[in-house]
Amino acid sequence: MRKPFERIIEGILACSGYITSVVIILIVVFLFREAFGLFKSPAVEEGYTIALNRTNKVSEDQFHAQTLKLVFDSEITNWSNLGGADEEILLFRLDDLTNYYSEEELGSNLENVPDCINKLVDSIPGIIAFIPKLYVASNFKGRLIEDVAITPKDFLAGKEWFPTSTPSAQFGLLPLITGTLWVSLFAILFALPFGLAVSIYMAEIAHLKIRNIMKPMIELLAGIPSVVYGFFGLVVIVPFIQKVFHLPVGESGLAGSLVLAIMALPTIITVSEDAIRNCPRSMREASLALGASHWQTIYRVVLPHSFSGISSAIVLGIGRAIGETMAVLMVTGNAAVIPTSLLEPLRTIPATIAAELGEAPAGGAHYQALFMLGVVLFFITLTINLAVEQITKQQKS
């Protein structure tokens, strides 16, 4: 029969496990709850509305976030491009009101502004007005566009990340996801050859004394704060890239990839070296007994047997690269554009969250969009973890 003390210890351990599981579930629920509120947020800036002349027959389906930005950036200048009449678009913001009315007409306390806007929108067929809802008259004669919500398509297929754009903020995922995958892919391409070479050397070639010195040193690299790697990249790698490639600035995807490659090396080396050392001694001896050389044994017997472990090292290295924040933020230029070259500035998802979350109003569309980026990062990390688990199962079988 178990002692009361053992029961108490078991109860404490069980409660710890349950509490940890519940906390993790609550965090995930909070993440998803905040993130999916984005698709209930209006595409137009809060407190404002879009007004048209009542004769304008353009469908409200045309007024999504990207279209509004193109219209107010004067990239779309005719209503025929939106399925309306062949008529030039006239942009109107509240600041333009003094171009049409004098200060006396507006009133000393701006009490006549709603009526002035009402008359202006009613008199100009091609007008599109971005005005505060506060100044919409009760007898407004124009046509108000209903608050169109941000759609998943706007987020997933959007090509611009511009949270401060007016009248409609742009929360496009493509620049950030491509920047994240671009940097991570090249980081692994840089780190994998070196990491695999070092792990083979330590496991198969290096003397025991050398291995006992190198292994703690390499594992120590994993404990260095990421901001230190970021400073190293900013002081050494960025000027080097700027000088070699004759760039106006050295902050680029290449700088981020090199810094992440250095940071991923300890993980790749440690996991790969353990996998290689776990190859049974009998397989090595059998290969040597058949006449194979040491090197032939390594690349024909040891490496194929250790493939699952090496694959796990690669996937874990990718996970480290994708989730990194500060080092990437410091050396990549932090430009939210879709990269076409590794020598261009770019921005990753973790860097965007770290840079903007403190400035985003709680509960607003920008705040929710950053949480949605967290959801995307959550699924990327989940996919990586599932891949590692699957590879590990294959290795055990």
Q: What is the pLDDT of residues 279-290, one digit of tens each?
A: 888 888 888 888
A 10 A CB-CB count for 311 gives: 20
pLDDT at position 303: 86
Fold exhibited by the domain 48-147: D-Maltodextrin-Binding Protein; domain 2 (3.40.190)
The CATH 3.40.190.10 portion of the chain extends over: 48-147
Superfamily of domain 174-396: MetI-like (1.10.3720.10)
Note the pTM of the prediction, 2 decimals.
0.84
307-323 helix and 174-200 helix, angle to the nearest 10 degrees: 140
**Do residues 269 and 218 make contact, with C-beta atoms less than 8 angstroms apart?**
yes
What is the DSSP code (8-state) at residue 249?
-
**Do residues 332 and 251 make contact, with C-beta atoms less than 8 angstroms apart?**
yes
Average pLDDT over the chain reads 88
pLDDT at position 122: 92
| CA 322 to each of CA 14, 114, 180, 334: distance values in angstroms, whole numbers, following the listed order | 33, 51, 6, 15
Whether residue 167 is preceded by a cis peptide bond, meaning omega within 30 degrees of 0, is yes
| pLDDT category of residue 397 using cuts at 50, 70 and 90 | low
Residue 1 has pLDDT above 80, yes or no: no
**Do residues 237 and 249 make contact, with C-beta atoms less than 8 angstroms apart?**
no
Beta bridge partners of 143: 52
A 10 A CB-CB count for 92 gives: 19
Pairwise CA distance, residues 125 & 127, whole Å: 6
Residue 259 has pLDDT above 90, yes or no: yes
Pairwise CA distance, residues 303 & 339, whole Å: 35
Q: 82-140, pLDDT tens digit by residue?
A: 988 899 999 999 899 989 998 888 888 888 999 999 999 999 999 999 999 999 988 89
| CA 154 to each of CA 91, 157, 168, 223, 350: distance values in angstroms, whole numbers, following the listed order | 23, 6, 11, 40, 20
pLDDT at position 221: 85
| CA 146 to each of CA 6, 20, 59, 215, 319: distance values in angstroms, whole numbers, following the listed order | 65, 44, 11, 63, 42
The CATH 1.10.3720.10 portion of the chain extends over: 174-396
Q: 168-204, pLDDT tens digit by residue?
A: 889 999 999 999 989 988 998 899 899 999 999 998 8
pLDDT at position 2: 59
pLDDT at position 239: 93
